[in-house]
Structure 1
């Protein structure tokens, strides 16, 4: 049986890439029975009725999967955040980073709309960028209008499956258009009434860029730590993971425990205060979560 990769899912159809050709497929009923939904990025076995239509028979084991956006087997998440319009949010970025780290996906922070910043805003963004770099993340500053930083993205995209994710209205589609102008993806600005982005991307689709595949995804502005446990959270903050090696007690949650390596690193200025505060917020959220049955 032929095998391929789902590159688009839309209205109950799955578009499978096989030997350079795209075959429109439906999923067999067994997937619904087993409560398995084929996802973009899935490696699948399919049966082709003809050159254009077929059925997905089997989904290969996934190395990872995301719920929102619904995509599987991702190598890298390019987290797109705007410097302004909407304003840069470390809280929202840290929520994304925690989810990405928990799913063992390599993150790349991409801050867009640099051309719209004034001097003070640019200084602040540069300081945040340096702090995230010190934490262990790669950060690229870009502008879709002036093409600033676009060249820096190409090596990250090559030979990988990347997902572009971030709050709606930050310019994900504009950035993809700047990377590959022939895409002509629909873009939209900020809603003046709501103060947030209008959704322009309605489905997930893998787009070929060089020798890599990139997913443009529907924007979203909230994430829930559904499967994350309190003891997992430290390992979603790289700088805290390193500092926790100096904690006296195994399983330290870095609250009021004595001889805590994370608290010591915080006091020494090695961990930004806002990152630790976000950790505390997320930890409380996880503790307050209703138990699953």
Structure 2
């Protein structure tokens, strides 16, 4: 039975990459009966008499998957944030990081529009904070082409998802890496302060020796499936210190002799990271239970 990888899902069709061939397939009815939806990134078995009339027969086990964007078997998430237009937000970045960390996907922080930054000192301080935690941060500009070679090195041989707020320059970045793509980009909406949604579906695009998912932009994330007890493990600097807390299962809020709170007081953990942690905890506590 031939095998391949779904690289695009659109209007009920699944486009399966097998070697250098792309086969247009439909899903078997058995998937609907089992409430299973094939995702971009899935490894599948299929049958086809030609490259236009195939059927996906089975889906391989997934090592991970995301709901928004709907994509599976990701090696790393490139979290694209702009230095300006829209302004860099540590709160939004930390929301993305918590979601990605909860899925055990390696994050790469990519800053775009570095040529537009109006407060480099402040931005560089944030960059230093995230690098100290252990995150990879790549500084780029699609206008000057700065940093693109470094980003391409991270893409080689991997399946990556590009995700981030609308208008940060994901499509511009991919156009700079692969000019032949000519992906549509839009200006920032002056009334909303964010970009228009220019990507309408998820598709894996060959780029820099790997596959990249250009995904629909979105500006908010919900912590569905993440419990209060899970949040600290999604902050690497806190997870590292948890074993030094006096109480096992410490959630680093009211417990005495908490190593995380002590690190915050000593400014070893940025206070804004801890503030975001507390806000995320409250948000999860207030989440309405599902019945």
Please classify the TM superposition score into its range, dividing by the shorter chain length: over 0.9
SS of the residue 2:283 aligns to: helix
State whether structure 2 residue 275 is matched by structure 1 residue 291: no
8 Å contact 2:177–2:208 — kept in the other structure?
A: no
Q: Deviations over 1:172-212 (max 9, x none)?
A: 00001111111111111101122111011101110111321
1:172 to 165, 170, 173: 170
Q: TM-score, normalised by structure 2?
A: 0.98
**Residue pairs, 1:173-252, within 5 angstroms:** 173-252=171-250
Aligned-pair Cα RMSD in Å = 0.8
Match of 1:48 in 2: 48
Q: Deviations over 1:262-282 (max 9, x none)?
A: 001111111000000000000
Match of 2:93 in 1: 93
8 Å contact 2:77–2:108 — kept in the other structure?
A: yes
SS of the residue 2:37 aligns to: coil
8 Å contact 2:95–2:221 — kept in the other structure?
A: yes
Q: Deviations over 1:111-158 (max 9, x none)?
A: 11111122xx11111110000011110101110000011111111101
User: Structure 1: how far apart are the matches of 2:265 and 2:200?
Assistant: 45
SS of the residue 1:163 aligns to: strand
2:262 to 258, 261, 264: 264
Give the length in aligned residue pairs: 291
Deviation of 1:52 (Å): 2.5
**Residue pairs, 1:108-127, within 5 angstroms:** 108-118=108-118, 121-127=119-125
SS of the residue 1:175 aligns to: helix
Which stretch shifts more, 218-227 or 51-60?
51-60
Give structure 2 stretches of 5+ with no counterpart: none
User: Structure 1: how far apart are the matches of 2:196 and 2:14?
Assistant: 26
Q: TM-score, normalised by structure 1?
A: 0.98
8 Å contact 2:26–2:55 — kept in the other structure?
A: yes
8 Å contact 2:40–2:203 — kept in the other structure?
A: yes
Match of 1:13 in 2: 13
User: Structure 1: how far apart are the matches of 2:112 and 2:27?
Assistant: 38
Match of 1:38 in 2: 38
8 Å contact 2:65–2:71 — kept in the other structure?
A: yes
Which stretch shifts more, 17-26 or 43-52?
43-52
Moved over 4 A (4+): none
User: Structure 2: how far apart are the matches of 1:292 and 1:61?
Assistant: 27
8 Å contact 2:153–2:208 — kept in the other structure?
A: no
User: Structure 1: how far apart are the matches of 2:2 and 2:35?
Assistant: 24
8 Å contact 2:139–2:146 — kept in the other structure?
A: yes
Q: Deviations over 1:201-242 (max 9, x none)?
A: 101110111321001000001111110011111100000111
